[in-house]
Structure 1
């Protein structure tokens, strides 16, 4: 009897364990079903998103691509939604924005900024500025970079006539050869800082007419390729019509038939100075100058003169306070080529034979003392 009771207790315990295991299994199955339902819901959402992406596909995607994808199982795509962030610039200090913007530096970059946002390119109604933020940055850049002499060559700011952005652009291109005289000289690839000879044995010149030097000290460098080239200074003559000289040799020195045309351009700004054009000859280093009245234009030796070789860099320093034109060769000072200068001048260069090339650029005045050539 005792054994029967023990057997019954064992069976009862085993039955209880089995019931507990079944209950646990049922809970597990229920949890799996719940997770399966969630996965099915997520899959359905991804299918819906995928269908929406297909409907909104840009028109430039070829139709054949959509058909090809339709024949295959397309993997779910996770797309990040772009969020547009708006910054209220009126709450920021104008001086801070101006300082940051000043790092752009060039007139083209500032123009792009002005076109990007009206807060940069339009007049600031809540500001003490009487122009836009971009205009203020351009003004500061001009004043920080331009010398006093260069400021005299730039147009003056005037509402409706000259903007600070335009003045900055002009400062960046002060030393362009913007006027070509004679039929045998040209620019290439739109680069106006360099001129090329277009034919052998025919003289033509290029003038940096936009940079009129009236006072102070001015320095320019000329990168020379070729031998029959010459560079120098000439009076500004804005009324000279370049189209009148397209079929012939042209020069400011030595071709006397043009002298009456040049003198017809004379203005009061020329003053009483008698040196209207002065140039350096690369072939032998001589100088020549003229007043366009007596016809004087003989080539002359000058102290410390040297000839140049192709690919040399020549510098010219025009000091209108002292009335002198000083020559440098590869950053080495040669000496004063001409004195007695007064009134306004422009840089110019001339070429004569095929292969001649002259490039002009701004540079710092060399600080090296005169020395003998190596």
Structure 2
């Protein structure tokens, strides 16, 4: 009987295990060669490369930047447009270019409403939500995890189906949902102290250092009467300002509402069917995310777009 048939394979035929590469395997490569190779990687791959050794990721003697972060810096400045650079300034105090490169990748992806609370679900994609409620006046919320830190950002909200116009479109500070509970309703628009009242479920402190000196931590356009609702979440609010110039209700027919957040001017401007209604809120500072709340059965999709002329 052959050895192979008996289950015995000659030692010469066994596949030898490869020894792990030595820590200095990449040492022969110069800095320029490493940077060139790294330029073919995305932000997540750069993070992995940076973890392989101190030379690549943890900085080097003399305080010089790591090779990975240097590569990310070069990639960002070569790839980003003037608009994208305005939207993604590097924060002082330890933010890496790898992090900013990751933000650039996020800025180029389709906009999503990917943080969901009770009553809201996706329909077809993470850019479209549907809201169903069995109880009158039961609001719930969908938020985009994409953080807007600077520059101009325009979001187009297409109302595909709706039973009414009790819908809010707006902005809120970046947050962390502490668990995956889908029975938790979160409606910050109508609560003066939503930051502390929901602190067991939602963490607003993760990026509070980037809020600036403004106190508008949530601001929305209310479709029923066109009013502006805003709150600091810490006791200061304005429940339904109808006096802003251009105020107009959304109506009950399907339409497209647009919001332009200009963080250079500190303003939030409202559009309806590509027509500018007016500047709804001023004095905005720091970081925000897009949000939608509704008490109506509806289907809404969101996309990043260019502001209408």
Deviations 1:14-67 (A, max 9, x none): xxxxxxxxxxxxxxxxxxxxxxxxxxxxxxxxxxxxxxxxxxxxxxxxxxxxxx
Aligned to 1:233: 171
- The one-character-per-residue Cα deviations of 1:116-151 (angstroms, maximum 9, x if unpaired) are xxxxxxx9x996852267549x96995259622444
Query: Which residue is 2:270 aligned to?
Result: 327
Higher helix proportion: 1
Contact residue 228 and residue 283 of structure 1 kept, 8 A: yes
Q: Which moved more, 1:172-181 or 1:318-327?
A: 172-181
Of 121, 125, 132, which aligns to 1:198? 132
C-alpha spacing 1:303/1:281, structure 2 compared with 1 (3 Å): same
Q: 1:141 to 1:184 in 2, by over 3 A?
A: farther
- Alignment-derived partner of residue 292 in structure 1: 233
Give TM-score scaled by structure 1 length: 0.54
Is 1:313 aligned with 2:256? yes
**1:265 corresponds to which residue?**
204
Question: What pairs up with 1:214-229 in 2 under 5 angstroms?
Answer: 214-225=149-160, 226=162, 227-229=165-167
Tell me which residue corresponds to 1:366: 308
Given that residues 194 and 234 in structure 2 are in contact (C-alpha distance below 8 angstroms), is that contact kept between their aligned partners in structure 1?
A: no
SS of the aligned residue for 2:237 comes to coil
- Answer with 1 or 2: which has the greater Rg: 1
- Residue 283 of structure 1 is matched in structure 2 by 224
Separation (CA, whole Å) in 2 of partners of 1:170 and 1:216: 15
Distance verdict in 2 for CA 1:258–1:291, change over 3 Å: closer
Q: What runs of 5+ residues in structure 1 fail to find an aligned partner? A: 1-122, 368-374
Which SS does the other structure have where 2:122 is aligned? strand
**Over aligned residues, Cα RMSD in angstroms?**
3.4
Report the secondary structure of 1:243's partner residue: coil
Cα distance change of structure 1 residues 262 and 219 upon mapping to structure 2, 3 Å threshold: farther
Aligned mate of 1:178, from 114, 126, 130: 114
The match for 1:304 among 239, 246, 249 is: 246
Structure 1 SS opposite 2:293: strand
Structure 2 unmatched runs, 5+: 1-28, 43-74
Structure with the bigger percentage of strand: 2
Report Cα offsets for 1:63-92 as digits up to 9, x if no partner. xxxxxxxxxxxxxxxxxxxxxxxxxxxxxx
Q: What residue number does 2:287 align with?
A: 344
| Greater relative contact order structure (CA < 8 Å, 6+ sep) | 2
Give the number of aligned pairs.
235
Partner of 2:196: helix, strand, or coil? helix
**Inter-CA distance 142–314: structure 2 relative to 1 (3 Å threshold):** farther
Q: Output one character per residue of 1:173-194: Cα deviation in whole Å (capped at 9) or x when no partner.
A: 252112112x1001123x1111
After superposition, the Cα gap between the structure-2 partners of 1:168 and 1:271, relative to the gap in structure 1 and judged at 3 Å, is closer
